[in-house]
A and B are shown apart, each in its own frame.
Chain A
């Protein structure tokens, strides 16, 4: 088992948790695509692995349809804590050379599971990668840094690489492959270590009241305050209007004119 891809089955933010609206993140799709390309270069198969309930078989079947050769589901609730997920995965892929992950899962989206897997495997890590070059022995990865700068890395096996969603388009599965994938057996295994539920109190998002970065010009201050302080309602920051599209466009033009963005330079 030398090329592994980790896929998380989760529901799309904003949708109810319902298998109809559940799947893998765009980042996971990129990861799967790279895993398949990489395996092709290395002349090996791809093992797709997920930690989740029965429903999670869906992402494994998608992976099989696209060309993964083996599918493992570690049986656990979707609420499993990230560290436990990583441990569970790592324990099943100790001999993995290349582990491909997405940069974020649809729901948790913390991007930390890949690093934990790397820690467990004592492997190299390249996270949040935005560009990949696949070579025989190494993978050249481009990582984002602050201020738009980027870092070029040479990654060597064993390694965990997590890629962003836009880095690759997942190939389209062939019809026959999709049909076969439906009947390919999936290895369902229990977690080796106890899985804890991540316990949280959930509430709707509300920006945090910001401390103000002085020294800055008065308006700047106000701007920052209004921009980020939730206690300032939309009314205070500006106005909310319900309009038909045509009128909406006219209203935008008016605002742009008032604010001086339409003056011809």
Chain B
């Protein structure tokens, strides 16, 4: 198995190291600053091929890489934005099946998270396939004893093929200011499909203010249009790493939790005692999230009123 990892300005994508580790240390680094990225992989990678290319182009790059990958039976990409874009184009060019959003990948067995992360579909792949690995599910053990990886550059032979059509990149924008507070928030209070109406999200926001926490949501909630997509926590949303995470009516699907970092404290309120979010919680409360919110809001208001309110 070999990993294909898109590098931007020397930076590895989310799950890049995991994809490489899943492939036992063999990888092709493609993009800008591949040499820099290669150096950061000591202890994880064993054998690296770098392909230095500017401006991400899924179709063109897939074509450029196909020759290099033709003899590789199993090709693994991280399920990062660029990985999800590039993988199907490589699979199509090599006429191979694609297993997208895998939890674990071996030549004999691939496990995929499906149905909104509620099920795992297990399959025995054919001899040749392409797969993307869900970022954050594997983890990486850095092996201090491991020698630095061998790095060979394949750039000159692999220029992008321009007959392949790709959109033109106008600009790469910095993180949306609207997401910063969430991405950097030390405390997050999040709502999921368990909430019964849109107003609950404003209520969450209000409670968040009282608690010094930012409001986040799951994709089901952003899909409902209850809050803008900037509030979506997870692999295709904002990746966060708070100390405190309080979840109301969140099932804890892998795409959500793998964007959650490693909070010191997790509280989950859910009617289903057995869903993943409850498994992760320090305090898992089986109760109706909506009514609990009403009571919690009241308590927090008292808490805040208490010191100030002067006795008449």
Q: Decide whether A and B are members of one complex.
A: yes
B21→A145 contact, CB < 8 A: no
B307→A252 contact, CB < 8 A: no
Query: Given known contacts A116-B88, A208-B138, is B295 in contact with A249 (CB within 8 Å)?
Result: yes
A166→B225 contact, CB < 8 A: yes
B115→A206 contact, CB < 8 A: no
A211→B138 contact, CB < 8 A: yes
Count contacts between A and B, CB distance < 8 Å.
314
Give the nearest-CB partner of A196 in chain B.
B97
Q: In the complex, which of the residues B112, B114, B276, B278 has the most CB atoms of chain A within 10 Å of its own CB atom? A: B114
B81→A206 contact, CB < 8 A: no
Query: Given known contacts A115-B89, A122-B165, A227-B263, is B116 in contact with A252 (CB within 8 Å)?
Result: no
Q: In the complex, which of the residues B100, B260, B269 has the most CB atoms of chain A within 10 Å of its own CB atom? A: B100
Q: How far is the CA of A237 from the CA of B247 in the complex (A)?
A: 16
For residue A202, CB closer than 8 A to chain B, the reply is yes
Which of B58, B59, B223, B282 interacts with A165 by CB under 8 Å? B223
Interface set, chain A 116-159, CB cutoff 8 A to B:
116, 118-120, 122-128, 130, 140-156, 158-159
For residue A207, CB closer than 8 A to chain B, the reply is yes
For residue A233, CB closer than 8 A to chain B, the reply is yes
Min Cβ gap A133→B in Å is 11
Query: Given known contacts A115-B85, A118-B59, is B118 in contact with A14 (CB within 8 Å)?
Result: yes
What's the tally of chain B residues with a CB closer than 8 Å to chain A?
110
Q: How far is the CA of A253 from the CA of B301 in the complex (A)?
A: 12
Which of B97, B164, B167, B179 interacts with A148 by CB under 8 Å? B179
Q: Which residues of B contact A128 (CB under 8 A)?
A: 81, 84-85, 236
Q: How far is the CA of A142 from the CA of B229 in the complex (A)?
A: 12
A248→B285 contact, CB < 8 A: yes
Q: Which residues of A contact B114 (CB under 8 A)?
A: 107-109, 200
Which of B92, B137, B174 interacts with A208 by CB under 8 Å? B137
Q: Mark A229-248, 1 if CB is under 8 A from B, else 0.
A: 01001100111111111101
Give the nearest-CB partner of A169 in chain B.
B225
B142→A83 contact, CB < 8 A: no
What's the tally of chain A residues with a CB closer than 8 Å to chain B?
103
Min Cβ gap B215→A in Å is 15
For residue A13, CB closer than 8 A to chain B, the reply is yes
Min Cβ gap A114→B in Å is 8
Give the nearest-CB partner of B13 in chain A.
A146
Q: How far is the CA of A261 from the CA of B120 in the complex (A)?
A: 36
B279→A237 contact, CB < 8 A: yes
For residue A213, CB closer than 8 A to chain B, the reply is yes
Q: How far is the CA of A167 from the CA of B223 in the complex (A)?
A: 8
Query: Given known contacts A108-B114, A112-B98, A239-B284, is B103 in contact with A208 (CB within 8 Å)?
Result: yes
Query: Which residues in A have some Cβ–Cβ distance to B below 8 Å?
Result: 13-14, 25-27, 81-83, 103, 106-112, 115-116, 118-120, 122-128, 130, 140-156, 158-159, 164-167, 169, 198-208, 210-215, 219-220, 223-224, 226-228, 230, 233-234, 237-246, 248-253, 255-256, 259, 261-262, 264-265
Pick the 8 closest A-B CB pairs, nearest first: A148-B175, A115-B88, A165-B223, A249-B295, A210-B139, A119-B92, A245-B291, A238-B282
Query: Which residues in B have some Cβ–Cβ distance to A below 8 Å?
Result: 8, 11, 13-14, 21, 56, 58-59, 80-82, 84-85, 87-89, 91-93, 97-98, 100-101, 103-104, 111-123, 137-142, 164-176, 179-180, 183, 187, 211-212, 219, 222-225, 228-229, 232, 236, 238-239, 244, 246, 253-254, 257, 260, 262-267, 269, 273, 276, 278-288, 291-292, 294-296, 298-300, 303, 307
Question: Contacts A115-B58, A207-B254, A248-B287 given; 11 further ones with Cβ under 8 A?
Answer: A119-B59, A130-B229, A149-B175, A154-B170, A201-B123, A203-B119, A207-B276, A210-B137, A223-B262, A234-B279, A245-B295
